[in-house]
A and B are shown apart, each in its own frame.
Chain A
Amino acid sequence: MAEKPPRAQSRREFVKNSAVVGTAAAVGVGESPFSIRTDQSQAIEWDRRVDVVVIGAGAGGFAAAIAARDQGASVMLVEQNFDIGGRAILSGGACYLGGGTWLQKEAGIEDSPEAVFYDWTLQDHPMNRYNDREIVRTYVDNCIATFDFLTENGVDWLPLGRASRLDSVPRRPSPRQWPIASEVIVPTQRGSGLMRPLERSARAKGVEILLSHRMTSFVREGPTSGRVLGVTAMEVDEWYEPTGRTVAIEARNGVIFATGGHSSNVNFRRMFDPRLTEEYQVHGDGWTPQNADGELAAMAIGASLWGTANQTNESDGQLSKGRLATRSNYHGLAFTPDAPNFFREKATGLRVRDWQNLILVKETGRRFYDETAGIRDYQYFYAAMQWTGDPNKLNGGGPIWAIFDADGVEREGWEVKPPYVDPDGYFFRADTLEQLAASIKSKYQWRPMPGATLRETVERYNSFVDSGVDEDFQKPRPLYKIQRPPFYAAWDTPCVHDTYAGIRMNTRAQVLDTQGEVIPGLYVAGESSGGFGQHGLGRAFVYGRIAGMDAAKNGREG
């Protein structure tokens, strides 16, 4: 084992001079596992040395890892979850990858990079308006190559469907679902058809995958100067609690983080929108949280945020009206009880067929909007996040509860018991409305719901059913009374989804600092990167591949 070098020796010298240390738990990462390292002057004893370290085994991470390995680099891919896939494996699998791919040509669809660029920089949609056009241009120029790359690495594509509403021609291909059921995670979603082939290919090519490890810092030569030399990480258990084991991995060519964004980190997301307090849960958090690890570690060594207007464009994937009665209640995602992470999810939730079958109330027991609003209606979200009138809680609108009765359950065909609902804070049942209000116990319901208010709300709503006119919120023709016991309250607080802003990068996916200078040896891809508010997988695959190739080829020079 190498002796610790004297303090005067530079880190670079030390790293050059010292042998790789094979012991784990050699690195202290501070009192809190998530504390920001700013003191980089202390010696690190590296547990492992590779050419490229990739953080996050989702779309961006696998594209980066395989692309770097294809260039001959040794690669270690680090993932906090017990399985690979990130959010990508939970997704529907549709990737914005067009511009004239072979799949488009087979279907006789004419497309070009120019057409893609035009579509993704149009001013008339908030998804496009705020994009960094240099980032978009390089994405556009790499779509075809990225699509071919995914095909070569085993992704089996379905025939193209119709054009997405943001595209002028069909260019959003989806994979076939992975055939091994136990590896699919969410049976209705096709994301496994992307991530499992990439996992197979990466492993076959020799990418080393380190699961159940959470990155804790990027190690840079100086606090905000010099190269990024590697990462520290800690082992976590199935609840993401630290086991006490840590690891330091040296990256000779570079570190690429594709950590999935910041949506799950309440403090971080409130930089963009202070309303998004703790009651707003996040899509798929029981699979792998988007906890801003990459952003925080990068900012700690000087990285800049970028494209923040995208995060507040209040459109599309940021928020969802959601499923009922479960915590991370994204409308398009239902885990089944045999999902490997179901012990964390705890309930499938209830899908609402007809929003006429319920009313939605705030923690005060009062309605606030037409319940039939669409799942992406931002006017609805504004109302849901409106101040509740409590001087002790100024930000956030508090939990939203769906209130319905036995007739509503029958009309919807719901089974109102576990594993469909989560009675531990997200679903309640009672014989009367007053008792229902009293039964609502949630860490986010910070004061009791007044039973008399809930009863008044329902009686008033029921009178609208008789009169045919919702005098308060103009729900079109309220159809059903809430009257037949038992009564139910189910969690329906808006759910946070996409991360649309993150760390500044250049068109080589190199991370830039607040002076606009490259941080040598650090790359970013996917939802942790800023400048491109595209929903989903396309930009993650494109920039992951760019980052992996660049780190392997040019990383040591940068």
Chain B
Amino acid sequence: MTDERAVHEPRLEVSRWFPSEVAAGAELTLQVRVTCPFGCDLRGAEVVVTAPEGPPILTSELVSSDQGINETSEVTLRAPSQVGEHEWSVLFRPQAGEAQASQPQSSQPQASEPPAHAGTSLALPFRTEAHRTSLAIWDVPSPAVVGDPFMVKIGAKCAEECDLQGRRIEVYDGSGDRLATAEFGETLWPGSDALYWAEVELVAPAGEGVVSWSVGFQAADLELPHREASAGFGFATTKPPEHQLTVEVVEVVKGEEGVEGGGGEEGGQGGSTVPVPNAEVSLGVYRASTDESGRAILAVAPGSYELLIWKVGYEAPARALEVSKDLTVRVEAADLHLSERSSWEDD
């Protein structure tokens, strides 16, 4: 720079948002803006991104210019893979004569030579975080039979969608004792973005009741740092089933209203009955839903239970049931005629 040349002091900033917290090793998008207060076109000049040690991470040219606002294109960088605080520097260092600054003719008419531009820098502090992981546990049978083996599925997901194939999960009981371990397979759970999963065999405890177990995922041996994850799951246990309970859910249709579509049979109250399919039957911890014939079959242990029926739009009284042999019970459900009763359907 000669004494005769004017020196412009450009402003350096990040034009695309740079996050203060990122996942370790994650891709970052950076775009740098250099604004000359005198409206100079600085295309061709370079911007350099450096870390405290090592060679420059990136060198990028200013490729666009609009009334003194000069920008690089959007460039992709990779965050450090170590967790912690980092600070990168963005440097604008036009070398003498290199940046072909062209100045609008209207400003600074006294300058006869192309103006020089001062170098400037910008600090980009950010923090890298270990990848978050999380778990799902599904297809847990409930109830499980005391002392019997059963299968559950366990999946883990890295928020950055890292490959978790071959990674291990562990299942613990309520007191923290390890019950099982399993390795994730290579295929993702169907319909998921990046859920690696395994099927695990477990054995139900000997006592009856509601069980609460947990799953842990360490992910310590992955290339990038990952946080551990844990999640709970539960199930009920029962004695082995000895009896078959058949529940028939029917609706009594009054004679004068008639039965459309057939399928009716004589009821006990002078009307006929029609089966109620897709009603949820629950007997203590046992569950089933009725089929097209209105029947649900449950294999149950002997005992005293409360039998409940649930179907939207129907009402059926709860009843106590003593099961000591194979049984068939019929439950009459009343259609509440919700759609006809609700004037809101007409709104």
Contacts and interface: CB of A to CB of B under 8 A. Distances in A.
B212 interface: yes
A334 to B, nearest CB: 12
B137 A483 contact: yes
B346 A92 contact: yes
Contacts of A463: 210, 212, 234
Contact of B192 (A172, A431, A451): A431
Given A459-B231, A466-B285, A432 B136 contact: yes
B320 interface: no
A354 B279 CA distance: 11
Contacts of A467: 210, 236
A165 B140 contact: no
Interface stretch (A130-138, A433-441, A550-558): A433-441
B210 A172 contact: no
Given A172-B343, A486-B191, A431 B157 contact: yes
B282 interface: yes
Nearest to B193: A431
B31 interface: no
A20 interface: no
B80 interface: no
Interface in A401-455: 405-406, 430-435, 438, 451, 455
A429 to B, nearest CB: 9
Nearest to A162: B340
Contacts of B233: 459, 462, 483
B136 A433 contact: yes
B331 interface: no
B344 A477 contact: no
A92 B285 contact: no
Contacts of A166: 343
Given A431-B193, A433-B136, A466-B210, A535 B157 contact: no
A176 interface: no
Given A332-B344, A466-B235, A484 B282 contact: no
A468 B285 contact: yes
A433 B134 contact: yes
A369 to B, nearest CB: 18
A459 B284 CA distance: 20
Contacts of A56: none
Interface in A450-502: 451, 455, 459, 462-463, 465-468, 476-477, 479, 481, 483-487
B189 A485 contact: yes
Contact of B193 (A354, A430, A434, A466): A430
Contact of A172 (B135, B340, B346): B346
A48 interface: no
A332 B192 CA distance: 32
B140 A483 contact: yes
Find the residue from B191, B232, B236, B344 having the highest chain A CB count within 10 A: B344
Nearest to B139: A484
Interface in B210-239: 210, 212, 229, 231-236
B143 to A, nearest CB: 8
B134 A317 contact: no
Contacts of B232: 459
A356 interface: yes
A466 B347 contact: no
Interface in A226-246: none
Contact of A93 (B139, B235, B346): B346
Contact of A485 (B191, B210, B287): B191
B343 A164 contact: yes
B340 to A, nearest CB: 7
Contact of B136 (A93, A353, A468, A485): A485
A164 B346 CA distance: 10
B130 interface: no
Nearest to B153: A484
B170 to A, nearest CB: 17
Nearest to A485: B136
B296 to A, nearest CB: 13
A435 B140 contact: no
17 contacts: A94-B347, A165-B341, A165-B343, A432-B136, A432-B157, A435-B159, A451-B134, A455-B231, A459-B231, A459-B232, A462-B233, A467-B210, A467-B236, A468-B285, A479-B280, A483-B136, A486-B192
A-B pairs with the 8 shortest C-beta distances? A434-B134, A92-B346, A432-B134, A431-B195, A94-B346, A484-B138, A483-B138, A431-B157
Interface of A: 91-94, 162, 164-166, 172, 174, 317, 331-332, 353-354, 356, 375-376, 405-406, 430-435, 438, 451, 455, 459, 462-463, 465-468, 476-477, 479, 481, 483-487, 535-536
